[in-house]
Structure 1
Amino acid sequence: MTEADMTVHCELSTVDDTREFGKRLAALLRAGDLVVLVGPLGAGKTALAQGIGAGLGVTGAVTSPTFVISRVHRAGSGGVPMVHVDAYRLGGVVEVDDLDLDASIDESVTVVEWGEGLVEQLSPARLDVRISRRDDDVREVELVPHGGDWGARLASF
């Protein structure tokens, strides 16, 4: 079975649906996972990250890290920490390396907005979440696995 065969497709009607989808996705995630959120401005990447954070049980509000580039969200009781990165303002792989994300990747779920083409070297396996927004505001989402056991995990999604 190819990775294309394991891709999951869905449609989300509202921002709240996007957050709920993130919560569902969080149930599949574990420390060491790299999740790359791909989509245009306003597609719902931060809303999805908020849902993932809620599903992981992180403490505090998950907000866009656009100006601070990276935020570490501590795990609540029994949860998994999340590193939330916005790579939009980064100029390339060298600037990603300067963030030392690889130092924390094994202990947390790392969620990167705008990371396509910049963060793939952080892990031999990752999940790309591709989000597009139609004219009627419905979000079309694709979960695209790359390596590791993502295919098995997505089979139950």
Structure 2
Amino acid sequence: MTGSAAGSPEVVEVVVDLPTADATTDLGRLCGRLVRAGDLLVLSGDLGAGKTTLTKGLGEGLGVRGPVTSPTFVVARLHPSTVGGPPLVHVDAYRLGGALELDDLDLGTELEEAVVVVEWGSGLVEHLAEQRLEVALGRDDGDADAVLAGTADVDEARRAVLRGTGPRWSGLAADLGVASDDAPGRRPHETDRNRLP
């Protein structure tokens, strides 16, 4: 857990190794069991990093009607729940020209009633929710900062850096069942590389 200046939101960061595409789907399923209506997830990573694979798992964990596929050409898809839970709104912001085009999608209602996942949303949607979960997916070169920046070596295994902003995500490491080191000035990835149980 990392502290922040007074008045700014608390940020929790967890790093998870994803050696296979199935591990990415499993992480999505686990997140699908943790999220609730009103949650915003912002996914980032290069093409082929696993954003849609993670979202497929998320949809399975939520129990929504599928299939969950990339909404690149339709920009947004609504997946209703089949189990009485919140629906999933899956947005692909790749083709959007900026925040104004995103505003045209009018996600306000969905942000209250659904789980909203925005692929390629980094830098575009953070203003929509003070509390959010950002997931940066990339190749694992041993440097989580490189994954976040999109400069990780493409020949290595995948890694997810989950960054929860706000009290909603304060228990993220425990919720995911991975190790965390709350020592001041240390982030979990500096002491432990986590694999999902």
TM-score normalized with structure 2 length = 0.75
Per-residue CA deviation, residues 116-147 of structure 1 (Å, 9 max, x unaligned), is 11111211110000110244452111110111
State the match for 1:147 in structure 2.
166
State the match for 1:68 in structure 2.
74
Kindly provide the amino acid, as one letter, of the partner of residue 36 in structure 2.
Answer: R
Per-residue CA deviation, residues 3-56 of structure 1 (Å, 9 max, x unaligned), is 687311111111111111100111110000000001011100000000000000
Q: Percent identity?
A: 52
TM-score normalized with structure 1 length = 0.93
User: 5+ unaligned residues in a row in structure 1: which ranges?
Assistant: none
User: 5+ unaligned residues in a row in structure 2: which ranges?
Assistant: 4-9, 141-153, 177-197
- 8 Å CA contact 1:124–1:148 kept in 2: the answer is no
Deviation at 1:102, TM superposition (A): 1.2
Matches within 5 A, 1:1-150: 1-2=1-2, 6-134=12-140, 135-136=154-155, 138-150=157-169
* Alignment root-mean-square deviation, CA: 1.6
Deviation at 1:104, TM superposition (A): 1.3
- 8 Å CA contact 2:19–2:157 kept in 1: the answer is yes
Tell me how far apart the structure 1 counterparts of residues 42 and 93 of structure 2 sit (CA, whole Å): 10
Tell me how far apart the structure 1 counterparts of residues 119 and 20 of structure 2 sit (CA, whole Å): 19
Structure of larger gyration radius: 2
Question: What secondary structure does 1:71 align onto?
Answer: strand
Runs of 4+ in 1 over 6 A off after TM superposition: none
Report how many aligned residue pairs link the two structures: 157
Deviation at 1:154, TM superposition (A): 3.8
Tell me how far apart the structure 2 counterparts of residues 93 and 5 of structure 1 sit (CA, whole Å): 23
